[in-house]
Amino acid sequence: MRPRGTPTVVRAGVPVPLALPVAVLLGVLVALPLLRLVQVLWQEGDLAGILGSPGLGTAIGHTVVLAVAVTVTAVPIGVALALALRRPDLPGRAFWRAAVLLPVVVPDFVLGYSWTQAYARAGFTDTLLGLHWDGLLGPVGVWLVLVVNAAPLAYLVVAVGLAARSEPDLERAARASGAGSTTVLVTITLRLVLPAVAAASVLVFVLTLGTFAIPQVLGTPAGFRTVTTRIYADLSIGGDPTSFLEAVSLALLLVLVAVVCVAPSDALLGPRLRSARPADAQGQQSVPGGRAARRGQAVGVGLYLLLTMAVPLAALALSSVTRALGVPPTPGNWTLDHFRQVLTVRTVEALGRSVGLAVVAASLLVLLGGLVAVGERRRAGRATATLITLTLVLPGSTLAVALLITYGRWLSGTLTLILLAYLAKLWAFAHRPIAGALDRLPPDELHAARASGAALLTAVRTVALRPLAPALLGAWLICFLTALHEVTMSSLLYGPGSETLAVVVLNSQELGRIGPTAALSVVLTVLVAAPALLLSPVVGRLRVPHDGPRAEVARVG
Amino acid sequence: MSAEPVPEAAAVEIVDLVVEYDGTTALRGVSLTVGAGEVLALLGPSGSGKSTLLHAVAGFLEPRAGTIRLAGTTVSGDGRPVPPERRELAVVFQNYALWPHLSALDTVAYPLRRRGAPRVQARAEALEIMRRLRVDHLAQRRPAELSGGEQQRVGLARALARRPSVYLFDEPTAHLDTHVRGVFLDELVARQQDSGAAAVYATHDAEEALGLADRVALLDHGHVLQVGTPQQVYDEPVDLFAARLTGPASAIDDGQLLVRPGWARLGGPLEGDVRAVRFRGPHSDYLVHSPRGEVLIREAGSPRHAVGAHLGWTLEHGWPLAGGAI
């Protein structure tokens, strides 16, 4: 196919073949460990005995029911938030839009723990008003906090879908055709965001299947077991071969459940999800609505955030500075003792490890994600990109167990093993935004640079890098934050001298040290939130306003 | 349905309309009237406020001040604005605004369904409307499977199905190829006349505006510069800017006198040099430099003079400009 006289290097776009090293790395990080998982079970497992154990069936049942329940609750909340927050006339809109994303920067076990500080026995509302909720520790509490944790994600996916698919004119056309606002919502708007709703559902479902920290904090004390918490219990408490094999089979079952549930929906939705049109995530209301509805929506969003985020986080902050459990959290009872108590050499070392690990992981991940995204432009790279996207389905617990049995012999208990797990788990997180930004880059801009005399690399550097910068920085930030508060895999893989700060917090919580755990949680949250708050305006400022044809249309007349 | 419209009432009446977007004023006190069955063209450059005006009439935005009446009923400016679905109007959009999840047939049936027609009846009626526009063979297609011209015909069919008393056309031909444009415009005018409804037609194309409107309103920076019949705005523009909006214009005698290309001819007592020649198909344009100023002269047929030729010309008609040169 190659035209005569044209050097391969130019036609290939990228001078080195990328597909091969990427595929090898993917094999080392994911394929080989998964195969090893199967092999171990095949060779040593008393499969019938393990699969027949009653606890296993219960754990799987709990996990699936929980994932379904969280999905059908969190996605409608995400849709409602996206619809309410796209109204340009919503009072305090900019603040709400930032506040809704708060659970993204708050580590999930900190969120779960903060709920216990707010609403459980001897918590904030109990001390102040004598109100507490016993059901918080148990399946209902796990479900509710998982919903709060997942809703922002559903909101983000749906909001982007709204902005991309539902042009204001489509809704205006329906209004001008005689449809009232509710009819437009049902017949037009919701139909247009259906693919985004489906995508959000798959995402929330998969993440809930693999979630560990919230069921561990809120479910385990009440004896409510999921697959992930059972794996943790098997590996950290039970040291015998039976519990090890049970962990291995649970890990394998978890990924099977994920694949079985997600494969049909991805086949159904995949092509549609990938052809999303470029859009700014602003979105706007097509027709002004009534003032009462506007105020009602603002109050609704405010109340939701107050109860789900503000009160728990305030309770967490207060119990980190309050002298003892059950004492009223008034300034007279405030002390910094808990912080002094937890700021030991061990904590500071863990903090340093966490930050270092997150920086290294995020930087490598942006590089790896970028490689796959660029490789994807050629036919050979497309399969690897699909494989990378598939790793999204892999639960962290499965990956951790698989990596442990594959490389544990050499790397057990080292930071390197945790780093490998992060790379495998977060590769897709880095790949998606970079690939999306590459897709949005109009090819004519590169063509124009080439036609103006720039060689390929010069063209990429001078024309493409600047518009890609927000995506690169955004991908780095996502990986950094996720790595920083990751606990599912690190709690299974850490050893003496390789605890991350998140693991320290989890262990402290399991020891029942309330004040110190709260203090550690505050430290971790600040650590995560600070770079997010500092860097996200930078990402926003780097974003070049793109004068597409759509922007042109909007300005005419 | 609202009460029977007062027979004398104008189809659309706009009084002192002010619209603001994020602190910038898009319309600064616009007053316009569209009579029953009349076609009013809004002609102006990008950003002049044409679309904003249409959106205000349709109820897609809330004006800051002013009044809008449709068939004598106040829909905006007096208490709660009437929402778009209860204004009896239909909109044809520049970017077609067809719903990607509906077939062409269901798109056209949509307004009928909103009137309460059962699905089967709405579809039958929609198919009939599509047949009249000769797009019935596209009934089962989705927007993505239609060309621009086909999409805009479906958009027009949807507007017809609404059976409104006012049509709002928001540059409906802006994205259409030239050859599709003419056919679509003929169709649009014929259907609008059949229906007896009034229409407001926004465009930046002078030929379109002059060719299809009963009256033309010239818009710039949110102001109405002039309203009149197509002949009035072409022959007697209020100033040179208005003159240039409606077609080629030369200003001679220090900008005091407007000369349209057809108002002067080659040969005659006045002297000049040809600075440029453009062959335009049916006619040729000559840019002639003369002591009274540069003037564009249009003559039928192929070019008869070359650049640099010294020749005579005759001024047959001129229109005194109030403001002088801009």
What confidence tens digit (pLDDT) does each residue in B89-104 have?
999 999 999 998 899 9
DSSP SS3 for A15: coil
Whether residue A413 is contained in a domain is answered as yes
Q: What angle do CA A309, A314, A316 make, to 5 degrees?
A: 100
Q: Which of B93, B114, B168 sits opposite A179 (nearest CB)?
A: B114
B97 to A173: CB separation less than 8 angstroms, yes or no: yes
Nearest in space to B158 (alpha carbons), one of A376, A87, A173, A308: A173
Chain B residues lying within 8 Å of A194, measured CB to CB = 101
Whether residue A547 is contained in a domain is answered as yes
By mean pLDDT, which of A500-504, A527-531, B144-148 is the weakest? A527-531
pLDDT in tens, B10-43: 999 999 999 998 778 899 999 999 999 999 999 9
A173 to B91: CB separation less than 8 angstroms, yes or no: yes
The mean pLDDT value for A74-95 works out to 87
A178 to B59: CB separation less than 8 angstroms, yes or no: no
Whether residue A468 is contained in a domain is answered as yes
pLDDT the model gives residue A392: 78
Chain A residues lying within 8 Å of B84, measured CB to CB = 172, 175-176, 287
Residue of B nearest to A183 (CA): B114
Residue of A nearest to B204 (CA): A557
The mean pLDDT value for B2-11 works out to 63
pLDDT the model gives residue A380: 65
pLDDT the model gives residue B16: 96
B111 to A288: CB separation less than 8 angstroms, yes or no: no
Q: Is B162 on the interface with A (CB under 8 A)?
A: yes
**Between residues 62 and 121 of chain B, which touch chain A (CB distance below 8 Å)?**
62, 80-81, 83-85, 87, 89-91, 93-95, 97-101, 110-111, 114-115
pLDDT the model gives residue A35: 92
Asked if residues A364 and A423 have their Cβ atoms less than 8 Å apart, the reply is yes
Q: Which of B54, B62, B168 sits opposite A288 (nearest CB)?
A: B62
A188 to B114: CB separation less than 8 angstroms, yes or no: no
Chain A residues lying within 8 Å of B165, measured CB to CB = none
Which residue segments constitute the domains of chain B, with CATH numbers given? 12-235 (3.40.50.300), 250-320 (2.40.50.140)
Asked if residues B85 and A180 have their Cβ atoms less than 8 Å apart, the reply is yes
| pLDDT above 60 (res B4) | no
Whether residue A491 is contained in a domain is answered as yes
Confidence of residue A284 (pLDDT cuts 50, 70, 90): low
**Between residues 187 and 216 of chain B, which touch chain A (CB distance below 8 Å)?**
202, 204
- Closest CA of chain A from B311, distance in Å: 43
Confidence of residue A33 (pLDDT cuts 50, 70, 90): very high
Give per-residue burial for B89-118: e unless 16+ CB within 10 Å, then b.
bbbbbbbbbbbebbbbbbbbbbbbbbeebe
**Between residues 282 and 341 of chain A, which touch chain B (CB distance below 8 Å)?**
286-288, 290
> Over pLDDT 90: what percentage of chain B?
76
Residue of B nearest to A555 (CA): B47
Q: Is B165 on the interface with A (CB under 8 A)?
A: no
Q: Angle of helix B148-161 relative to helix B104-114, nearest 10 degrees?
A: 20
pLDDT the model gives residue A13: 46
Confidence of residue A256 (pLDDT cuts 50, 70, 90): confident
A169 to B84: CB separation less than 8 angstroms, yes or no: no
Higher-confidence residue of A81 and A13: namely A81
Using alpha carbons, list the distances in angstroms from residue A239 to A202, A232, A234, A242, A244.
Answer: 35, 11, 7, 8, 7
Of the residues A166, A286, A556, the best mutation for testing chain B's interface (the one with the most B CB atoms within 10 Å of its CB) is A556
Q: Nearest 10 degrees: CA dihedral of A166, A433, A440, A435?
A: -130
pLDDT the model gives residue A17: 65
The Cα–Cα gap between A450 and A430 comes to: 28
The mean pLDDT value for A395-408 works out to 91
Higher-confidence residue of A281 and A178: namely A178
The mean pLDDT value for A341-369 works out to 91
| pLDDT above 80 (res A281) | no
Residue of B nearest to A170 (CA): B97
Chain B residues lying within 8 Å of A192, measured CB to CB = 99-101
Q: Is A185 on the interface with B (CB under 8 A)?
A: no
| pLDDT above 70 (res B227) | yes
> Over pLDDT 90: what percentage of chain A?
30
pLDDT in tens, B119-163: 999 999 999 999 998 899 999 999 999 999 999 999 999 999 999
Confidence of residue A545 (pLDDT cuts 50, 70, 90): low
Confidence of residue B232 (pLDDT cuts 50, 70, 90): very high
Name the residue type at position A494: Y
Q: Which residues contact A141 (CB under 8 A, 6 or more apart)?
A: A115, A133, A135, A218, A219
Sign of the Cα torsion B162, B165, B167, B168 reads negative
By mean pLDDT, which of A432-436, B241-245, B274-278 is the weakest? A432-436
Q: Which residues contact A245 (CB under 8 A, 6 or more apart)?
A: A40, A41, A44, A45, A46, A50
A175 to B170: CB separation less than 8 angstroms, yes or no: no
A179 to B89: CB separation less than 8 angstroms, yes or no: no
Residue of B nearest to A290 (CA): B80
Chain A residues lying within 8 Å of B111, measured CB to CB = 177-178
pLDDT the model gives residue A247: 86
| pLDDT above 80 (res A430) | yes
A192 to B83: CB separation less than 8 angstroms, yes or no: no
Q: Which of B46, B60, B162 sits opposite A555 (nearest CB)?
A: B46
Confidence of residue B186 (pLDDT cuts 50, 70, 90): confident
> Over pLDDT 70: what percentage of chain A?
87
pLDDT the model gives residue B107: 95
pLDDT the model gives residue B234: 96
Chain B residues lying within 8 Å of A191, measured CB to CB = 99, 101
Chain A residues lying within 8 Å of B52, measured CB to CB = 557
Task: State the average pLDDT for chain A.
Answer: 82
Higher-confidence residue of B287 and B4: namely B287
Size of interface A-B (CB pairs under 8 A): 105
pLDDT in tens, A462-496: 778 888 888 888 889 889 988 988 999 999 999 88
| pLDDT above 90 (res B230) | yes
The Cα–Cα gap between A557 and B171 comes to: 9
Say if strands B198-203 and B166-170 run parallel, antiparallel, or are unpaired.
parallel
| pLDDT above 50 (res A8) | no
Residue of A nearest to B106 (CA): A187
Q: Which residue in this structure is represented by tokens 């490789």?
A: A375
Task: Give the helix ranges, DSSP H, for A106-167.
Answer: 108-119, 124-129, 139-165
Q: Which of A170, A181, A183 sits opposite B99 (nearest CB)?
A: A170
- Closest CA of chain A from B4, distance in Å: 18
When divided into structural domains, chain A yields a total of 1
pLDDT the model gives residue B8: 65
pLDDT the model gives residue A279: 40
pLDDT the model gives residue A43: 82
Q: Which domain range does residue A393 map to?
A: 333-557
Q: Nearest 10 degrees: CA dihedral of B127, B129, B131, B133?
A: -140
Asked if residues A401 and A231 have their Cβ atoms less than 8 Å apart, the reply is yes
The Cα–Cα gap between A464 and A444 comes to: 11
Paired strand residues for B92: B169
The Cα–Cα gap between A179 and A322 comes to: 56
B84 to A191: CB separation less than 8 angstroms, yes or no: no
| pLDDT above 70 (res A268) | no
The mean pLDDT value for B227-242 works out to 95
B114 to A178: CB separation less than 8 angstroms, yes or no: yes
Q: Is B165 left (phi over 0), alpha (psi -120 to 50) or beta?
A: alpha
B110 to A177: CB separation less than 8 angstroms, yes or no: yes
pLDDT the model gives residue A278: 40
- State the first-to-last Cα distance of chain A, in angstroms, to the nearest integer: 48
Task: State the average pLDDT for chain B.
Answer: 91
Give per-residue burial for A390-422: e unless 16+ CB within 10 Å, then b.
bbbbbbbbbbbbbbbbbbeeebebbbebbbbbb
Chain B residues lying within 8 Å of A177, measured CB to CB = 85, 90, 110-111, 114, 158, 161-162
| pLDDT above 80 (res A12) | no
Q: Is A87 on the interface with B (CB under 8 A)?
A: no
- Closest CA of chain A from B280, distance in Å: 28
| pLDDT above 60 (res A15) | no
Q: Which of A176, A180, A191 sits opposite B89 (nearest CB)?
A: A176
- Closest CA of chain A from B7, distance in Å: 24
By mean pLDDT, which of A212-221, A545-554, B118-127, B166-175 is the weakest? A545-554
Whether residue A8 is contained in a domain is answered as no
Q: Is B24 on the interface with A (CB under 8 A)?
A: no
CATH number at residue A528: 1.10.3720.10
Confidence of residue B325 (pLDDT cuts 50, 70, 90): very low
B60 to A287: CB separation less than 8 angstroms, yes or no: yes
pLDDT the model gives residue A5: 38
- Across chain B, the runs of DSSP E, i.e. the strands, are 12-21, 24-34, 39-43, 65-70, 73-76, 89-92, 166-170, 198-203, 215-220, 223-228, 250-252, 257-259, 264-279, 283-290, 293-300, 310-315, 319-320
| pLDDT above 80 (res A266) | no
Whether residue A23 is contained in a domain is answered as no
pLDDT the model gives residue A327: 78
Asked if residues A71 and A147 have their Cβ atoms less than 8 Å apart, the reply is no
| pLDDT above 70 (res A20) | yes
B95 to A167: CB separation less than 8 angstroms, yes or no: yes
pLDDT the model gives residue A196: 87
- Closest CA of chain B from A286, distance in Å: 7
| pLDDT above 90 (res B78) | no
By mean pLDDT, which of A235-239, A359-363, B87-91, B171-175 is the weakest? A235-239
